[in-house]
Chain A
Amino acid sequence: MTLPRDPVLLMLLGTVFTLLVVASIAGWAIGHVVTSDAARATMANVNARIRAWWVMAGVFAATLAAGFTWSILLFGLVSFLALREFVTMAPTRQGDHRPLAWGFFVVLPLQFALVWAGWYGLFSILIPVYVAIFVTIRAAIAGDTQCFLERAAVTQWGLTICVYFVSCVPALLTLRIPGFEGQNVGLLFFLVFVVQLSDVLQYVWGKAIGRRPLAPSVSPNKTWEGLVGGVLCATAAGTALWWATPFSPFQAAALAFTIGVMGCAGGLIMSAIKRDRGVKDYGTLIPGHGGMLDRIDSLCFAAPVFFHLTRYFFAR
C-alpha cells in the first residue's frame, strides 16, 4: 500500500546504524577507561542497552522495509507485550478476568485491524468510547463490586496506553498527506527516532550535568538539565530530518520538540504507576532496559499527540 521510497528509507536507516556503531565503539572505549566500580557498573548497563538497541533497531528496520502490513503486525506485537506487562503488575481481581480476556483477544486485534483497514472513525473511538462502555458492562456483570472504580480504571488505562496509544504509531502510515503519497514511513521513522533519541539524550545529559531533579518523588533520575539538554538536542536532530517528512524545517523542529516533551511526560507517568505498585521495572524482556513498557513509555504518550497534530495540520 504505502511502500517506502527506498533511497530515503536507506538513508534514514543508515543514520541509525552509523549512530549505533559510534555508540558501540564509544561505550566499549569508555568501559575500558573508567576505573571506579560505580562507573564500571554504569558502563556495563550502558553497553547492555546499546546491544539491545542493535536488536531493536534491526527488528524495526526489517519491518519498515517489509512494508505496511508487517509494520502493523510489529506494533500489534509490541502492544500485546506491553499490555501483558501492564496487567501483570496491575491490581486486578477475578472479576476482571473476562473483561481482560476481551481486551487481549478481541479489542487489541480489532484496534490494529481498524488501523490496517484505515477506518479512522472507529479506530479513534473504539477504546475511549466502546471499551469504556462494553468492557465495563462485562465487569459489572461479573458481579465483584470491591474496588470497582479502581479496577475499571486499570482495564481502561491499560487498553488506552498499551493498545490505543501504541496503535497511533502505525496509524501514521494511513494518513493521506497531499504531495507525500507513498512516503509515510518517513513520518513513522521521524516519531520513533526522535522519541527514542530524546530518551537517550535526556539520560546522557542527566548523567553528565544533571543537578535539579524534575520530580524526585516519582523518578530520581529525571533532571531539568537532562530534560532541557535532551529535548533540545532531539529537536535539533528532528529538524535535520525534515527532508524525510512533509514538514518544513521549522515545523519539524516544533513537532520534534513536542515529541520530546510528551515523551518525558510519558516516562514520568509510567514511573508514577511503577512507584505506586512498588515495582522497579515492568518486565525483563529487554536486557538493560527492563520490560517492553519501560522502553516504550515515552513513545506511548508522544504517538497520539504527534498523530493528531500531523493529521489536523497536514493530512487531507
Chain B
Amino acid sequence: MIAAAVAGGVRLLSGPGVEWRCARNSDAQRIYFANHASHLDFVVVWAALPPRSRQLVRPVAARRYWEQNTVRRELARHVFNAILVDSGSGSASPQEAARATTARICGGMGDRHSLILFPEGTRSPTGEVGAFKSGLYFLARCRPEVELVPVHLWNLHRILPKGEWLPLPMLSRVVFGAPLTVRPDEEKSAFLERARAAVTALGDGV
C-alpha cells in the first residue's frame, strides 16, 4: 500500500511520460540501467514499472545516502527492497572493492529479482550521460542470461538538481529501450561504450 502511494505520488510530481520500446510485462530477470542526474531517478524508474515487476525489482543504491536517516532506511529496506552498496573504496584496492560489490549485487539478484542500476555511479549536473563504471560489465559477465535494458531519464537534472532538496514539478520522460547482451568476446571498454550509447540514443528526439 505504501509502495502504491509512493509510486502514485512520484508519478504525480514528476509527471513522467513513459515509453516502452521493449516488452513491458516480462518475467525475465532484467537489469534496468539508466543515466543518473538526481536522487529521484531510481524512484522514477521504479514507479514507471508495472506493479508486478515493481515487487521483484531491487534498486542498487548508495548506502551513504539511504542509511542517513530512519525514513530513508525504512523506505530502502521495506518499500524499495534496495541493495545498498558502499560507494567509497574503503581499505581494499579499488579492483577488489568492485569485485566484492559485484558479488554482493549478484547475490542480491538471486534467481528472481531484477535490478535498477546507474552505471555512471554519480549524478550528472547537466543531464549529459557520463562514462560508465565497470560494474555493469562485471554483472553482465556474472549473469549472461539476464536482459540488460537501457533506460533514458529526461529532465530529472532540472527537477531535482544536485544540492537541492525540493523537487520542481516539471515534466519528465522515461524511455525503456531494447535489451542488450554482452558478446562473448567483447572487451570491457567496448561494451561499456555500447551500453552508454544505447542510453544516450534513447534520449534523441525526446
User: Which residues of A line the B interface, CB within 8 A?
Assistant: 80, 84-85, 87-88, 92, 94, 97-98, 100-101, 104-105, 283-284
A33 smallest CB distance to B (angstroms): 35
CB-CB < 8 A to A97: which residues of B? 158, 161, 164, 168
Do B171 and A100 have beta carbons less than 8 Å apart? no
B146-180: CB near A (< 8 Å → 1, else 0) gives 00000000010010010110101111000000000
A91 smallest CB distance to B (angstroms): 10
Also in contact, A88 and B17, with CB within 8 A (given A97-B164, A101-B168):
no
Q: What is the bound-complex CA distance between A14 and B15, given in angstroms?
A: 34
Do B158 and A92 have beta carbons less than 8 Å apart? yes
Nearest chain-B residue to A83 (Cβ)? B169
Do A104 and B169 have beta carbons less than 8 Å apart? yes
B22 smallest CB distance to A (angstroms): 21
CB-CB < 8 A to A94: which residues of B? 125, 161, 163-164
A contact patch SS: helix
CB-CB < 8 A to B169: which residues of A? 80, 84, 104
Do A88 and B164 have beta carbons less than 8 Å apart? no
Instruction: Count A/B pairs, Cβ under 8 Å.
Output: 29
The residues in B between 103 and 131 inclusive whose CB is less than 8 angstroms from any CB of A are: 125
Can you name 16 extra interface pairs (CB under 8 A) apart from A84-B169, A94-B125, A94-B164? A80-B169, A85-B171, A87-B168, A88-B171, A92-B158, A94-B161, A94-B163, A97-B161, A97-B164, A98-B164, A100-B168, A101-B166, A101-B168, A104-B168, A283-B171, A284-B17
CB-CB < 8 A to A88: which residues of B? 155, 170-171
Also in contact, A84 and B15, with CB within 8 A (given A97-B168, A100-B168, A104-B168):
yes
Most chain A CB inside 10 Å of its own CB: which residue of B17, B125, B158:
B158
Q: What is the bound-complex CA distance between A87 and B170, given in angstroms?
A: 7
CB-CB < 8 A to A85: which residues of B? 171
B9 smallest CB distance to A (angstroms): 15
Q: What is the bound-complex CA distance between A101 and B164, given in angstroms?
A: 11
Q: What is the bound-complex CA distance between A283 and B155, given in angstroms?
A: 14
Q: What is the bound-complex CA distance between A80 and B169, given in angstroms?
A: 9
